[in-house]
Amino acid sequence: MMAELNERIATLEGQAREIKEELHPLYQQRAEANCPFKVGDLLVDEKGRRTRVSRITPGWAGLDGRFPGMRGRFLRKDGSEGREGELYSWYGWKVSP
């Protein structure tokens, strides 16, 4: 009995892993399609901070695609790239002119 349960669990866990591996690139594609910005875009927020989008991710909100995550390299006053950080939508990011 226990051996059968362990075998069934192992089989299902293997299937779940395979499904997750198939889903990840689809989540990524959906996040990139739903994001109003693209990797490499230069953005500015309400406070005048500038950043270059370095990564778009599926986000954390149930992976339903409505809220893709973004990371960016903040730009110093001289234009050189600084640290990378999360780009939260509530900061009002817009494409920099």
**10-residue mean pLDDT series, the chain (97 residues):** 93 95 91 92 94 90 73 94 92 90
pTM tops 0.85? no
Edge-to-edge strands, sheet with 69-75 = 81-86, 69-75, 50-57, 42-44, 94-95
pLDDT at position 56: 94
DSSP-derived letter for residue 87 is -
Report which secondary-structure segment, H or E, holds 25.
helix 2-34
Whether the CB-CB separation of 22 and 16 falls below 8 Å is answered with no
Half-sphere exposure of 97 (CA within 13 A, CB side): 1
**pLDDT at site 46:** 93
Domains of the chain, residue spans: 2-95
